[in-house]
Chain A
Amino acid sequence: MHELPVTEKILDIIVSHAQRNNVQKVVSVNLRVGELSDLENEWIQHYFDYLAKDSVAEGAKLVIERVPVVMHCNGCGESFQVDVKAMKEIQCGNCDSKDYTLVSGKDYYIKDMEVI
């Protein structure tokens, strides 16, 4: 059920852009979702299919690209990528600092959409 509110938001944004651009039908939507998100792509599509019924986005395919987790090192200022699923200690590869802030990995970004 957790995918539902997120999917609702996605649909709202798509429909408002479709209206502004005189769209008859949305064919596909390109999304970027952060690796930190625990939501499942498959379920997002299921909920989308359900919510988008009878709208301009009915039947649209969600193409989800996963965005890697990137941290900014507060020690040396470098950015570095992290594999959260590996459960290795998060540490800057450049200076070994463990003081970092998240740059990307939490994203839910709608890039563009193919429409008719």
Chain B
Amino acid sequence: MDEVRLIEVKEDIRADNEKKADGLRSQLKAEKTLLMNLMSSPGAGKTTLLMKSIGMIKDEIKVGVMEADIDSKVDAEKMVAQGIPAIQLRTGGFCHLDANMVEQGLGAMDVKGLDLIIIENVGNLVCPAEFDTGAVLNAMLLSVPEGDDKPLKYPLMFSICDVLIVTKTDYLSLSDFDMEAVKERAKKLNSNIKIFEISAKSGDGLEAWTDWLKNEVLTFVK
């Protein structure tokens, strides 16, 4: 019988992706375009928040949107109907975007004319956290109906995000969601995380969030 031998592999499966993501970051830095990656569970309210937020900042900041979905173009159509430049990336079964797909997306956009490009990642809290998209800002949306235990279940997502936006706060009175517990859990995983509480429906808290975002973009493109 043939001998069993040991072969050294020594490869990280995301090394290629990370290299590409770093490349995108330096390319976008040179073009003075801030790339933000927005992640959440399905239906947490990404599209709704983006449409409202972009409406509030578009006179000062030129924004484009890259929508990612497994197999539909509904979200990009909603953006375009609002006059927001948007493209749709279909991940064809993949549950997240990687740097390669983002690079293709950027190729289809007029990057030079934009200060801010927002990626609406595929709705899920697992894989998008594992794959670097090349974004300089990672943001996640947690909606009140999902519950306050999510930082316990998806620690990686909370630990890689720069911003946590807790949304659908209009549901707070109907639920036992403990806002302080969420903030505490998120801060434990990531002491630098910036947290906003908003309702895209009532508009509560939206201005604090868009002011912060505007400031991030203006500092970045300076």
Contacts and interface: CB of A to CB of B under 8 A. Distances in A.
A, B assembled together: yes
A109 B12 CA distance: 4
Given A9-B13, A13-B13, A108-B13, A88 B188 contact: yes
A116 B94 contact: no
A84 B189 contact: yes
Contacts of B7: 17-18, 21, 23, 112-115
A83 to B, nearest CB: 11
A13 B96 CA distance: 20
Interface residues of A, number: 41
Contacts of A54: none
B57 to A, nearest CB: 30
Contact of A115 (B5, B127, B154): B5
Contacts of A23: 7
B30 interface: no
Contacts of B6: 112-115
Interface in A1-58: 1-2, 4-6, 9-10, 13-14, 17-18, 21, 23-24, 27, 29, 36-39
Interface residues of B, number: 37
Interface in A90-116: 90, 98-100, 102, 106-116
B130 interface: yes
Interface of B: 2-14, 94-96, 124-127, 129-131, 151-156, 159-160, 185, 187-189, 191-192
Interface of A: 1-2, 4-6, 9-10, 13-14, 17-18, 21, 23-24, 27, 29, 36-39, 84-85, 87-90, 98-100, 102, 106-116
5 contacts: A99-B191, A102-B159, A110-B12, A112-B7, A114-B5
Given A5-B94, A113-B9, 14 more contacts: A1-B95, A2-B95, A5-B95, A6-B127, A17-B7, A38-B129, A90-B189, A100-B191, A108-B14, A110-B9, A110-B13, A111-B9, A112-B6, A114-B7
